[in-house]
């Protein structure tokens, strides 16, 4: 007997469950004494008897498990670059289209799509568990035959939804301040971006991913109930699942956290239900490509979440609107007036009455209108907000620089303050609907017919998107 220990490079691993898959595939080989995989380092250390096993057999077992021992060429990122380029080009060429708002409104739809795409990953990680439940009983009745699979997936959906509600409720339970909420959303956004890059194949971000112990991954059917096993599946150390849990955390709401996880889990159900029929048709390489694309969607969601956090912190950043301006406009500071969505009807200048500046704004299904105001420095301001059509999104105004958070009621709402030297950014409590109060030395010098590229875009219609309800 001649014992050897070899270190193999293993590509395409994205989470702890991937480590388990590699280890289980290698340990089955005759002569292999021990196998330890590390997805963050993209390698596996194998201890084996070289009289019974060899390097080629080990590499073949890793490849059969759906992973690679050879680094793929740079072209594997081409699809991601094409998607990013398409987003930038749309932002530059599409007049009057605020893509970020559209993506934000489509957040739940995107979560569903992410669930559909990452369900292939679920099949690879949890398919064996599901099959152990589905094949546990034989029945000539068609419903009885699929009942275990239905119960297993129902358990998963229930588990994901409950966890999403619990995680999302953490912010509201502890009554977090505006700053804490902003930090929480920024934290969630950054981690989602890193996880998205991880899933898309960028190894530099793997060391920052949350890693759970292997024991949490070894869920077995001891209760005999597929539903219970499905419930326990919510505790699996799965990369896409952890990403969605971070998204739920960033919502700061039990309802929105639960709904986010519900939409994600529903997206994973169709393929899991039809796993038996499709597993033989999909190649391992194909599933990895799909997982990479889902990573791109995770990055988009992370950018949206992070941008919301910046809005709550009183920082308005709209890079897509900036891209839509021509190079000449960017150099001169001017805008064509259509790319970022600002228009005369959405701009207002304060009216001075009895030594007080008065500005009027309406909160409705169209967001906040106007959402750009001009006031004069040093003169008290009376900000009158008409709660015309309040939704769960526009019903709370957050003004970080004034340390104010006002829950709107139907009818007249008033915020009073005296402006200093700096502009005042405001948003809804979710950071989706935004606006700015620009402070100038002299109101008489302001020409509202000229648009300003620094202002946020016209607020989207909250009623059209599920994120606002």
What CATH number is given to the structural domain containing 445? 2.60.40.420
Identify whether the C-beta of residue 247 lies closer than 8 Å to the C-beta of residue 111. yes
* Statement to judge: residues 205 and 177 lie in one domain: yes
Angle at 56 between CA 52 and CA 58, to 5 degrees: 70
The answer to whether residue 339 is domain-embedded is: no
pLDDT at residue 440 in the model: 93
Calpha distance 46→32 (Å, rounded): 7
Identify whether the C-beta of residue 356 lies closer than 8 Å to the C-beta of residue 382. yes
* Statement to judge: residues 165 and 274 lie in one domain: yes
* Statement to judge: residues 255 and 141 lie in one domain: yes
Place of tokens 């021509």: 326
Confidence band for 451, pLDDT divided at 50, 70 and 90: low
pLDDT at residue 409 in the model: 92
- How far are the Cα atoms of 80, 87, 370, 399, 428 from residue 404, in angstroms, in the given order? 41, 35, 19, 5, 12
Confidence band for 446, pLDDT divided at 50, 70 and 90: confident
pLDDT at residue 439 in the model: 94
* Statement to judge: residues 282 and 151 lie in one domain: yes
The answer to whether residue 462 is domain-embedded is: no
* Statement to judge: residues 107 and 221 lie in one domain: yes
Q: Which two tokens stand for residue 277?
A: 């029929």
Beta strands in 345-410 (DSSP E): 347-349, 351-353, 356-364, 367-369, 372-376, 381-387, 396-399, 404-407
Per-residue pLDDT at 271 exceeds 70: yes
Q: Which two tokens stand for residue 89?
A: 């080009």
The answer to whether residue 464 is domain-embedded is: no
pLDDT at residue 127 in the model: 56
The answer to whether residue 189 is domain-embedded is: yes
The answer to whether residue 12 is domain-embedded is: yes
Residue 432 DSSP code: -
| Among 293, 312, 331, residue at a domain's last position | 312
Tell me: cis bond preceding 278? Omega within 30 of 0 counts. no
Q: Greater confidence, 82 or 439?
A: 439
* Statement to judge: residues 253 and 395 lie in one domain: no
Q: Could you tell me how far CA 388 lies from the centroid of its own chain? A: 31
Strands 396-399 and 424-428: antiparallel
* Statement to judge: residues 89 and 59 lie in one domain: no
Q: Which domain holds residue 229?
A: 84-312
pLDDT, tens digit, for every residue of 31-55? Answer: 999 999 987 788 899 999 888 899 9
pLDDT at residue 375 in the model: 95
Residues found in the chain: 469
Helix H, strand E, coil C: the string for 82-110 is HHHHHHHHHHHHCCCCCHHHHHHHCHHHH
Calpha distance 182→101 (Å, rounded): 18
Q: Which two tokens stand for residue 424?
A: 């005042």
pLDDT, tens digit, for every residue of 149-183? Answer: 788 888 889 999 998 898 888 766 655 566 777 77
Per-residue pLDDT at 377 exceeds 80: yes
pLDDT at residue 121 in the model: 61
- How far are the Cα atoms of 255, 280, 284, 294, 453 from residue 287, in angstroms, in the given order? 32, 12, 5, 11, 43
Q: How many domains would you assign to the chain?
A: 3
The answer to whether residue 457 is domain-embedded is: no
Print burial letters for 434-459: b (CB count within 10 Å at least 16), e (below 16). Answer: bbbbbbbeebeebeeeebbbbbbbbb
Print burial letters for 376-389: b (CB count within 10 Å at least 16), e (below 16). Answer: beeeebebebbbee
* Statement to judge: residues 60 and 153 lie in one domain: no
* Statement to judge: residues 297 and 360 lie in one domain: no
pLDDT, tens digit, for every residue of 296-343? Answer: 767 776 777 777 777 777 676 654 444 444 433 333 333 333 333 344
pLDDT at residue 461 in the model: 40
Compute the mean pLDDT over every residue in the chain, rounded to the nearest whole number.
72
- How far are the Cα atoms of 279, 387, 466 from residue 407, in angstroms, in the given order? 51, 10, 21
* Statement to judge: residues 292 and 197 lie in one domain: yes
Average pLDDT over residues 331-358: 64
- β-partners of residue 76 are none
Q: Which two tokens stand for residue 134?
A: 């589905």
The answer to whether residue 282 is domain-embedded is: yes
Calpha distance 27→35 (Å, rounded): 6
* Statement to judge: residues 296 and 154 lie in one domain: yes
Average pLDDT over residues 392-396: 79
pLDDT at residue 400 in the model: 86
The answer to whether residue 70 is domain-embedded is: no
* Statement to judge: residues 282 and 398 lie in one domain: no
| Among 262, 296, 312, residue at a domain's last position | 312
Helix intervals (H) in 341-386: none
Average pLDDT over residues 241-266: 82
Q: How far apart, in Å, do the first and last CA atoms of the chain sit?
A: 67
Average pLDDT over residues 113-121: 75
Among 422, 398, 216, 197, which residue's Cα sits nearest to residue 309? 398
| Among 312, 332, 360, residue at a domain's last position | 312
Q: What is the CATH number of the domain that holds 28?
A: 3.30.70.100
């Amino acid at each position: 007997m001649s014992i050897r220990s070899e270190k193999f490079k293993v590509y395409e691993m994205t989470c702890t469950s991937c480590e388990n898959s590699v280890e289980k595939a290698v340990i089955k080989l005759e002569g292999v004494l021990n196998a330890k995989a590390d997805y963050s380092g993209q390698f596996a250390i194998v201890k084996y008897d070289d009289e019974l096993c060899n390097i080629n057999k080990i590499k073949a077992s890793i490849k059969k498990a759906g992973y690679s021992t050879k680094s793929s060429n740079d072209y594997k990122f081409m699809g991601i670059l094409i998607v990013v380029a398409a987003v930038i080009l749309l932002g530059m060429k599409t007049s009057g289209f605020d893509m970020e708002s559209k993506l934000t409104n489509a957040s739940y739809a995107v979560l569903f799509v992410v669930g559909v795409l990452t369900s292939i990953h679920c099949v690879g990680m949890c398919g064996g568990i599901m099959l152990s439940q589905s094949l546990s009983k034989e029945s000539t009745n068609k419903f009885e035959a699929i009942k275990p699979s239905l119960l297993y997936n129902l358990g998963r959906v229930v588990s994901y939804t409950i966890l999403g509600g619990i995680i999302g409720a953490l912010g509201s339970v502890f009554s977090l301040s505006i700053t804490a909420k902003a930090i929480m959303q920024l934290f969630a956004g950054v981690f989602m971006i890193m996880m998205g890059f991880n899933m898309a194949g960028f190894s530099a971000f793997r060391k920052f991913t949350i890693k759970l112990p292997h024991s949490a991954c070894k869920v077995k059917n001891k209760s005999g109930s597929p539903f219970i096993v499905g419930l326990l599946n919510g505790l699996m150390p799965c990369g896409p699942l952890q990403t969605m849990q971070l998204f739920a955390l960033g919502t700061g709401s039990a309802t929105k956290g639960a709904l986010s996880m519900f939409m994600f889990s529903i997206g994973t159900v169709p393929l899991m239900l039809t796993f038996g029929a499709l597993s033989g048709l999909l190649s391992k390489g194909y599933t990895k490509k799909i997982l990479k694309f889902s990573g791109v969607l995770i990055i988009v969601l992370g950018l949206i979440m992070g941008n919301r956090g910046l809005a709550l912190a009183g920082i308005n950043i709209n890079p897509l609107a900036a891209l839509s301006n021509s190079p000449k406009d960017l150099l001169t500071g001017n805008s064509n007036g259509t790319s970022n969505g600002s228009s005369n009807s959405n701009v207002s200048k304060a009216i001075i009455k009895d030594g007080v500046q008065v500005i009027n704004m309406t909160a409705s299904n169209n967001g906040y209108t106007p959402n750009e105001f001009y006031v004069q420095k040093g003169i008290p301001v009376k900000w009158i907000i008409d709660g015309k059509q309040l939704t769960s999104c526009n019903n709370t105004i957050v003004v970080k620089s004034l340390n104010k958070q006002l829950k709107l009621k139907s009818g007249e709402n008033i915020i009073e303050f005296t402006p200093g030297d700096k502009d005042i950014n405001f948003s809804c409590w979710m950071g989706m609907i935004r606006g700015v109060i620009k402070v100038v030395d002299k109101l008489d010098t302001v020409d509202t017919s000229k648009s300003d590229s620094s202002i946020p875009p016209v607020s989207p219609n909250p009623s059209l998107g599920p994120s606002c309800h």
